[in-house]
Chain A
């Protein structure tokens, strides 16, 4: 103890130590970046990913799969909300059978891979019930196939939101003479949905990417989504540029979603 106080110059202060550690981290990152830049074969990378003419040739055809990606995502999300919110309400119900059913539903569809559910909807169900017709053809299949998985996640998010609404809000509503159902619709759900905007946006982003699974249903040029289109181009051009274009188009969808969520969240804060 006394030695340390007598020779302060030999020991670093916390600030000095933090600065040194920061400097070491910067040095490591810089070294890695420089090494990569030196080692990489830039000509080859440019050839595989940045061929302007191949990228240009994808337009305007790429807008059809781009649009389909949006449509599939929205269909699945709407299905997920329409089914997920009631499931969430059943999970917090004081009627046992509702709770059991909702719990089983969530466990099943949260636990199964989206790909498997999509197969089940696309091939399993039609095989078991011959003659079954999904409304909207492949669009109906996607809405249900991706929506089932999504609804389980949405139900869990919304349930968490419902339980995060302060108990006093319910008591105030009930003491004014609102019924249980009326309280849910007028007071609890509007507040719960505001609370779960961030996880719901997350779900929408996940769905945007999961729409790339739709190819397993067997799609035509008209119903193709972005990933399948990019992979087809990859094969026919023997070049990776279509993957880059496809990836950028996904980001064109998901990044604005993230920004939107942040804005909605901020608006919720001022309530």
Chain B
């Protein structure tokens, strides 16, 4: 891990309130270029909110966020420009349901990055091949399985050439037997050196791929460290009982 370079994500004193409910209670986080960070924690702990604050899908109540070289919380920030550099993958895929698979990848390139159509189509085909989707270009999203849709969604996020990828529980809506095909695409992406912030319940993925695991509870980062430490030897009782519940749900 290169700690001397400027971090690609720098969050300071982040608070997020929904009415009276304070979901994030002071988050400080730095992510280095090329690092894979997994966010784990019980539901309602604020991990999705934290992720959504990074590209300002949620507006922070307090604190500053710098991501992919953009000062996201500056009053005059150009968020549309910044978000091109921050890809996002959602739990429910959110592919554009009225467009073909190919157009899901082509239209963002043409409309957002002003890339010529022919170039965009070639790039879309390359990305679809990379995530293992072939022969589905003219299909509509609803004709694909969940795993296929999520792989297309990853390809779509990559189409606008982000420097950082956010994953919001990317496999939580999938049947267990197809979780693997999405995780392996993500693993490949990590191997290529993409910086990734991943909210997940897949402890196996976190153990194998993450450089660092953050355990969130009650709106604060309770534990942070290499997966071997956080997942195998949690220091706090909260993390220990959470991990026990996730890994041994029947007990």
Chain A residues at the B interface, C-beta cutoff of 8 Å: 166, 168-169, 171-179, 182, 186-187, 190-191, 194, 270-271
**Interface pair A172/B57, CB less than 8 Å apart:** no
B57 surroundings in chain A (CB, below 8 A): 171, 174-175
A271 surroundings in chain B (CB, below 8 A): 97-98, 140, 142
The reply on B156 being an interface residue by CB < 8 A is: yes
Q: A186-B111, A271-B142 are in contact. Are A172 and B83 (CB under 8 A)?
A: no
The reply on B210 being an interface residue by CB < 8 A is: no
- Complex CA gap A194/B80 in Å reads 27
**Interface pair A178/B55, CB less than 8 Å apart:** no
In the complex formed, the residue of B with least CB distance to A182 is B111
Min CB–CB distance A176 → chain B (angstroms): 5
- Complex CA gap A190/B99 in Å reads 10
- Complex CA gap A166/B94 in Å reads 9
B139-168 interface mask toward A, CB cutoff 8 Å, 1 = contact, 0 = none?
A: 010100000000001001101100000000
B107 surroundings in chain A (CB, below 8 A): 186
**Interface pair B112/A169, CB less than 8 Å apart:** no
Which of B84, B97, B98, B142 is in CB contact (< 8 Å) with A176? B84
**Interface pair B108/A175, CB less than 8 Å apart:** no
**Interface pair B112/A177, CB less than 8 Å apart:** yes
Can you list 6 A-B pairs, Cβ within 8 angstroms, ordered by A?
A168-B94, A177-B80, A177-B160, A190-B98, A194-B98, A271-B98
**Interface pair B92/A178, CB less than 8 Å apart:** no
**Interface pair A169/B94, CB less than 8 Å apart:** yes
**Interface pair A176/B90, CB less than 8 Å apart:** no
**Interface pair A169/B97, CB less than 8 Å apart:** yes
The reply on B182 being an interface residue by CB < 8 A is: no
**Interface pair A172/B98, CB less than 8 Å apart:** no
Q: A172-B90, A186-B107 are in contact. Are A179 and B80 (CB under 8 A)?
A: yes
The reply on B95 being an interface residue by CB < 8 A is: yes
